[in-house]
């Protein structure tokens, strides 16, 4: 074999990086974070052989923007990709994959890209168009052609990732491989072998399923409620199809299913039709309907996750069998968190904990000694500088994230950041979440400003109100803490140079 053996690479500190990112996977549905709902043994393996970040967050809780923050190490207003709906990522800008490549790494991207422009900085890519499909999905190749491939998307992405590591890469170089799964994005279409999984399980209702949004105007204005059929579609999301159905998303649903092989489709219809027949015979309304939809949602999401967990296991097994584990940093994260019925919701976008947070676990190669939980506040803008640091490359001054490498070495720098900045832009748009920015502090406080066609501030004490139900902004006795958070917010806006937001602080 030409080039350096894995052990030699590790000795040089030039670890490989396998970065696995899912779509919309949230910590509530990952057993090493939260074991109430599902078991994810393979994801948990990553944490067991390394670290679990328990204060891991995104800078903008939406797919494209989150991915842009990740590959640039910069907040949205700096990388330019602020929202999914109007954005085209400017691929001519500095990105971490380009810098990794310049540092001698082989770079590859497989799966969901979602940044519209053709990926730059990759020696190899094989991506799904837009959101991609679950069944017999299309893939866009480097020559620009689109090919429909047979199978379930999570298996196919993993097959491709393993094939690239085993057969396609230049083995004389260290590599960074981005495996971007489509799972577990809406509408949670399961792999056929798991279509019957979780059907005996009844999931506990979240305490805030019937939140009334009192004191939170933006929360009241959203369109992401499980119980509302205009928000969570009974056909598309819950798969309760019957002939003549004409909900807003019925056509989209049927077009997705039309990709299936006929035998699978017959089995799929047989399974969901029997549930739909019972459902329509009951004429559920009110809370009974909401809770039926919640259970369907949880089960389908859990099924999709089961295939994902299997495939992460396959990826780890490949690395082990190829002798690469000791020289490879394996990262598992999601493009953002997600609501599993908290506040009555699905989807993400808000700076509230469930969607501001994102799972982040890492299996560490030989030589990186940290183990267990890491409590420092980290954000997805930190991944780029971390990987550059691992590659021994210079971290450019304009990168806004911090390298996590000291934390992976078991250090706890006293001057580690004590607050995080967030800015969400996609409004007006699907799910109607107002534009907002805010600051969250290590001592458990959060201040958020919703703006544009609204002008409201929210203040939370997470230590006493972890579910963020009590907006304390403007309450007597909070003047001092509000002032402190306001100061911290302005400090971060200046540090990150978010000039537009700075001006909005004084919106009248
Ligand atoms: C689609 C979904 C939305 C979802 C966005 C963004 N609608 O538009 O529910 O919020 O993607 O998701 S759907 O009817 O097409 O399923 S993201 O993860 O890509 O940002
Ligand atoms: Ca997403």
CA atoms within 13 A on the CB side of 71: 32
Alpha-carbon distance 476 to 296, whole Å?
43
Ligand 1 probe mutation, 304, 430, 431, most atoms within 8 A of CB: 430
Q: Tokens 């296991």 identify what position?
A: 313
Q: Tokens 């690479």 identify what position?
A: 9
Which ligand gives the minimal distance to the CA of 336? 2
Which atom from ligand 1 is nearest to the alpha carbon of 23?
18
DSSP bridge pairs for 16:
328
Q: What phi and psi values does residue 116 have, to the nearest 5 degrees?
A: 70, -55
Alpha-carbon distance 287 to 226, whole Å?
11
Q: Tokens 């001592």 identify what position?
A: 443
- On whether the CB atoms of residues 447 and 438 are closer than 8 A, the answer is yes
Alpha-carbon distance 460 to 483, whole Å?
13
Where are the strands (E) in 8-123, listed by range? 16-22, 50-53, 56-57, 106-112
Burial 378-411 (b: 16+ CB within 10 A, else e): bbbbbbbbbbbbbbebebeeebbbbbbbbbbeee
Domain with CATH 3.30.1120.10 in the chain: 421-504
- 185 CA → ligand 2 middle, Å: 7
- 483 CA → ligand 2 middle, Å: 34
**Tens-binned pLDDT, residue by residue, of the chain (508 aa):** 334 444 444 445 589 999 999 999 999 999 999 999 999 999 999 999 999 999 999 999 999 999 999 999 999 999 999 999 888 999 999 999 999 999 999 999 999 999 999 999 999 999 999 999 999 999 999 999 999 999 999 999 999 999 999 999 999 999 999 999 999 999 999 999 999 999 999 999 999 999 999 999 999 999 999 999 999 999 999 999 999 999 999 999 999 999 999 999 999 999 999 999 999 999 999 999 999 999 999 999 999 999 999 999 999 999 999 999 999 999 999 999 999 999 999 999 999 999 999 999 999 999 999 999 999 999 999 999 999 999 999 999 999 999 999 999 999 999 999 999 999 999 999 999 999 999 999 999 999 999 999 999 999 999 999 999 999 999 999 999 999 999 999 999 999 999 999 999 998 7
Alpha-carbon distance 299 to 341, whole Å?
13
Ligand 1 probe mutation, 81, 186, 429, most atoms within 8 A of CB: 186
Helix (H, G, I), strand (E, B) or coil at 327: helix
Alpha-carbon distance 171 to 274, whole Å?
51
In the 3-class helix/strand/coil scheme, how is 466-482 assigned residue by residue? CCCCCCCCCCCCCHHHH
Taking CA atoms, 493 is separated from 135, 336, 443, 481, in Å, by 43, 22, 19, 18
Alpha-carbon distance 286 to 228, whole Å?
10
pLDDT of residue 12: 59
Which atom from ligand 1 is nearest to the alpha carbon of 66?
20
My answer on whether omega of the bond before 184 falls inside 30° of 0, hence cis, is yes
- 25 CA → ligand 2 middle, Å: 8
CATH number of 421-504: 3.30.1120.10
**Domain 6-188+298-411 part of CATH 3.10.310.10:** no
Q: How would you classify the pairing of strands 419-424 and 435-441?
A: antiparallel
Ligand 1 probe mutation, 81, 113, 114, 131, most atoms within 8 A of CB: 131
Residue 112 is inside which H or E element, if any? Answer: strand 106-112
Domain with CATH 3.40.720.10 in the chain: 6-188+298-411
Sign of CA dihedral 293, 295, 298, 303: negative
Task: Convert the pLDDT of each residue in 127-172 to its tens digit.
Answer: 999 999 999 999 999 999 999 999 999 999 999 999 999 999 999 9
Alpha-carbon distance 218 to 450, whole Å?
7
Nearest to 383 by CA among 13, 35, 68: 68
- On whether the CB atoms of residues 48 and 372 are closer than 8 A, the answer is no
pLDDT of residue 5: 45
Alpha-carbon distance 485 to 450, whole Å?
15
* Alpha carbon nearest to ligand 1 atom 19, residue: 63
Alpha-carbon distance 199 to 274, whole Å?
13
Which atom from ligand 1 is nearest to the alpha carbon of 187?
16
Q: Any alpha helices (H) in 283-337, and if so which ranges? A: 286-321
- On whether the CB atoms of residues 470 and 460 are closer than 8 A, the answer is yes
């Amino acid at each position: 074999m030409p080039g350096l053996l894995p052990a030699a690479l590790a000795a040089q500190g030039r670890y490989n990086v396998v970065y696995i990112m899912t779509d919309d996977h949230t910590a509530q549905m990952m057993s090493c974070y939260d074991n109430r709902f599902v078991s994810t043994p393979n994801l948990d393996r990553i944490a067991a052989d390394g670290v679990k970040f328990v204060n891991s967050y995104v800078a903008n809780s939406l797919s494209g923007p989150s991915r842009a923050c990740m590959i640039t190490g910069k907040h949205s207003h700096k990388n330019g990709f602020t929202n999914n709906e109007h954005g085209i990522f400017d691929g001519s800008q500095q990105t971490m994959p380009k810098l990794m490549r310049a540092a001698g790494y082989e770079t590859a991207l497989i799966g969901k890209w979602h940044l519209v422009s053709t990926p730059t900085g990759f020696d190899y890519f094989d991506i799904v168009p837009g959101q991609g499909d679950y069944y017999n999905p299309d893939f866009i190749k480097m020559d620009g052609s689109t090919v429909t491939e047979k199978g379930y998307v999570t298996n196919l992405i993993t097959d491709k990732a393993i094939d690239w590591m085993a057969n396609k890469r230049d083995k004389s170089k260290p590599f960074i491989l981005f495996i971007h799964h489509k799972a577990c994005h809406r509408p949670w279409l399961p792999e056929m072998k798991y279509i019957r999984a979780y059907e005996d399980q009844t999931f506990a209702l979240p305490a805030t399923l019937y939140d009334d949004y009192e004191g939170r105007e933006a929360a009241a204005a959203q369109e992401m409620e499980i119980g509302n059929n205009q928000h969570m579609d009974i056909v598309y999301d819950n798969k309760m199809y019957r002939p003549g159905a004409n909900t807003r998303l019925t056509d989209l649903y049927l077009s997705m299913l039309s990709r299936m092989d006929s035998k699978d489709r017959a089995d799929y219809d047989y399974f969901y039709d029997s549930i739909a027949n019972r459902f329509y015979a009951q004429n559920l309304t009110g809370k009974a309907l909401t809770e039926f939809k919640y259970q369907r949602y949880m089960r389908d999401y859990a099924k999709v996750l089961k295939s994902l967990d299997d495939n992460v296991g396959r990826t780890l097994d490949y690395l082990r069998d190829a002798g690469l584990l000791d020289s490879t940093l394996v990262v598992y994260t999601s493009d953002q968190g997600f609501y599993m019925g908290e506040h009555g919701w699905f989807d993400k976008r808000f700076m509230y904990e469930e969607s501001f947070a994102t799972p982040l676990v890492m299996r560490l190669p030989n030589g990186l000694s940290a183990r267990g939980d890491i409590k420092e506040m980290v954000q997805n803008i930190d991944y780029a500088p971390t990987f550059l640091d691992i590659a021994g490359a210079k971290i450019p001054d304009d990168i806004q994230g911090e390298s996590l490498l000291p934390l992976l070495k078991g250090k706890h720098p006293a001057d580690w950041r004590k607050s995080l900045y967030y800015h969400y832009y996609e409004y007006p748009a699907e799910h109607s979440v107002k534009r907002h920015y805010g600051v969250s502090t290590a001592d458990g406080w959060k201040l958020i400003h919703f703006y544009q066609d609204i002008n409201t501030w929210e203040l939370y004490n997470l230590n006493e109100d972890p579910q963020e139900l009590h907006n304390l902004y403007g309450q007597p006795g909070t003047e001092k803490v509000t002032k402190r958070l306001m100061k911290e917010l302005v400090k971060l806006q200046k540090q990150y140079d978010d000039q537009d937001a700075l001006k909005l602080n004084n919106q009248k």
